Chain A
């Protein structure tokens, strides 16, 4: 189980795994059951270097790449996919600031986002849909160097805990009448900006998902992340690369949980005088999970390596599609292996399945990923 990690990446993985084992594993079931968002762990994630793992060191980050970011998310999601959702969405907003933010924005926000004192969010989806970015209705109007923003976002992760949220707004039309979008950072506590309804989710519990309401919110023009009117490519790039990579990493963590729990259970559970791991029917299930895990791992870390080298294409879409389906398959297999134990909430198999299913819509459903993959494939071959 070693995708050519460097010695340093190996150490990081061990460090993150140890952290997850000590700080996350003992609480993951309770966070899920109570849908409790563990805000007290965020500074610890900051201290570990996970909150700002890919942020340059001069802004308080760790200065690593996307492979390392995926390692962190896989290790967190191994025990709590819900918490991993919070971290991934934070990374999404942070990535927009790192990639497109002004020097002033970086110095103002990134240090707190790295040390865990400020959680970041990115808000795109609206009640009308998520993947149709051009159809967004939240509007920002610039007057006297001040944006006035009105609209409503929904299904936003970190909606109720983000200190800064990067919001995608419609800010005009081009000469052909197509909408122009801008990404604007809004700080929590700004007048007229407030979280709305908090969703009660099937899976990925332990993270906030909810509405953001913008009612005549006024922010300075200096809060624009990237050039005005370029919000669409910025959003698409961060969702497409950071977002899909993260979701794939979280699904990979769930998949590994299924693998490890399946093996542990099969060795412990005795039927007819021997552990069920001796039964071929169980072995086949375990072999399927293992193959899914190894294939997923290669796809994800290969894509992340390509991203770090700046030449990633549709690889993250392929990984996101394949791994999310593989995670659902493996969770179902785990439940079959565990029989009745798989069905009761005392064991985490049901949580893995709910989380795996919950991952599918984030950053594009499987159908969306397949459209992207097909688009690139038809061009390339």
Chain B
């Protein structure tokens, strides 16, 4: 499908910042000639899926963008089968290539490889579908719902369809507490809020090279004193030092875009570095002068992570 063929884009708003990020990105790529429709749907599976399907059939968009949240990762592929169309998963970029074709860039092998994906037969009513992890497209920018930032150009005109309102007037059948034929029996909060690192302007991230639990706790203390957030890699999480999955950055964790990111003892497997691509400045400290992380950094230091953490703690006293 040519990018010029895209007249209407439908974005699923799940009630978190990702819809704003998708809208910003879409506006930057497709400009004002394209119509933007945002479907605000409950965070419930059956209604979101049914409303998305219905809205596509009524609005006939050529492109559908969905945040790759736990909910979005289920809605998008299901919608793909229902509409008999393709889904590009976890896009790290959406572009128009030299031939004017709509091109999705998706990571494979945990981000070590990036591949182009085309959905050539997509058309109005049978749209290309793409999911994007929260944070991949600039975290803190939201173009609607009162979060408009003017420094990236005028906001496109957006039409909002409010599925919540539809539900209230009874036009949506029951289903807010179900997923398929299963009913929602219980909701329990997770131990730690996921937004800790998502909104942080400063992230101090620890990898396996921290070496031990004590150093991880030092890093946490340092992050606290600097008003930043402590995060970890998969390797550090697996080491069992007390880091939690909510603070894991990377393909299997979260994508972040703080102003400043400092990585300590991180080898920099692409799994991890693709989760920090949106960061302002990236600093990496690692004893291995060939660490892959350095290739994704603005500043590097070949030092022992603990020594630098100790020096930082010392200097901010």
Q: Please give me the residue from chain B that is nearest to A268 by CB atom.
A: B288
> Would you list 4 pairs from A and B whose C-beta atoms are within 8 A, ordered by A residue?
A268-B288, A270-B289, A270-B290, A275-B290
Q: In whole angstroms, what is the CA distance A249 to B288 when docked?
A: 36
Contact partners of A275 in chain B: CB under 8 A = 290
Q: In whole angstroms, what is the CA distance A317 to B288 when docked?
A: 45
Contact partners of B288 in chain A: CB under 8 A = 268
Q: List residues of B (15-51) whose CB comes within 8 Å of A's CBs.
A: none
Q: Sort A-B residue pairs by CB-CB distance and give the 4 closest, nearest first.
A: A270-B289, A270-B290, A275-B290, A268-B288
Q: In whole angstroms, what is the CA distance A46 to B288 when docked?
A: 41
Q: How far is the CB of A303 from chain B (nearest CB, A)?
A: 41
Q: How far is the CB of A21 from chain B (nearest CB, A)?
A: 14
Contact partners of A270 in chain B: CB under 8 A = 289-290
Residues of A in contact with B (beta carbons under 8 Å apart): 268, 270, 275
Q: In whole angstroms, what is the CA distance A268 to B290 when docked?
A: 9
Q: Please give me the residue from chain B that is nearest to A275 by CB atom.
A: B290
Residues of B in contact with A (beta carbons under 8 Å apart): 288-290
Contact partners of A268 in chain B: CB under 8 A = 288
Contact partners of B289 in chain A: CB under 8 A = 270
Contact partners of B290 in chain A: CB under 8 A = 270, 275
Q: In whole angstroms, what is the CA distance A114 to B292 when docked?
A: 47
Q: Please give me the residue from chain B that is nearest to A274 by CB atom.
A: B290
Q: In whole angstroms, what is the CA distance A270 to B287 when docked?
A: 11
Q: Please give me the residue from chain A that is nearest to B290 by CB atom.
A: A270
Q: In whole angstroms, what is the CA distance A373 to B253 when docked?
A: 60
Q: How far is the CB of B162 from chain A (nearest CB, A)?
A: 52
Q: In whole angstroms, what is the CA distance A268 to B288 when docked?
A: 8
Q: Please give me the residue from chain A that is nearest to B302 by CB atom.
A: A270
Q: In whole angstroms, what is the CA distance A268 to B289 when docked?
A: 10
Q: In whole angstroms, what is the CA distance A275 to B288 when docked?
A: 11
Q: How far is the CB of A354 from chain B (nearest CB, A)?
A: 28
Q: Please give me the residue from chain B that is nearest to A270 by CB atom.
A: B289
Q: In whole angstroms, what is the CA distance A122 to B218 when docked?
A: 54
Q: How far is the CB of B304 from chain A (nearest CB, A)?
A: 15
Q: In whole angstroms, what is the CA distance A102 to B288 when docked?
A: 62
Q: In whole angstroms, what is the CA distance A275 to B290 when docked?
A: 9
Q: How far is the CB of B294 from chain A (nearest CB, A)?
A: 13
Q: How far is the CB of A101 from chain B (nearest CB, A)?
A: 47
Q: Please give me the residue from chain B that is nearest to A267 by CB atom.
A: B290
Q: In whole angstroms, what is the CA distance A58 to B256 when docked?
A: 59
Q: In whole angstroms, what is the CA distance A275 to B291 when docked?
A: 12
Q: How far is the CB of B196 from chain A (nearest CB, A)?
A: 32
Q: In whole angstroms, what is the CA distance A268 to B291 when docked?
A: 10
Q: In whole angstroms, what is the CA distance A316 to B288 when docked?
A: 44
Q: How far is the CB of A180 from chain B (nearest CB, A)?
A: 60
Q: In whole angstroms, what is the CA distance A255 to B288 when docked?
A: 28
Q: How far is the CB of A273 from chain B (nearest CB, A)?
A: 8
Q: Please give me the residue from chain A that is nearest to B288 by CB atom.
A: A268
Q: In whole angstroms, what is the CA distance A157 to B115 when docked?
A: 57
Q: In whole angstroms, what is the CA distance A43 to B290 when docked?
A: 43
Q: How far is the CB of B273 from chain A (nearest CB, A)?
A: 20
Q: How far is the CB of A272 from chain B (nearest CB, A)?
A: 12
Q: In whole angstroms, what is the CA distance A270 to B288 when docked?
A: 9
Q: How far is the CB of B194 from chain A (nearest CB, A)?
A: 31
Q: In whole angstroms, what is the CA distance A202 to B213 when docked?
A: 34
Q: How far is the CB of A344 from chain B (nearest CB, A)?
A: 18
Q: In whole angstroms, what is the CA distance A194 to B288 when docked?
A: 54
Q: In whole angstroms, what is the CA distance A100 to B116 when docked?
A: 66
Q: How far is the CB of B230 from chain A (nearest CB, A)?
A: 27
Q: In whole angstroms, what is the CA distance A275 to B289 when docked?
A: 10
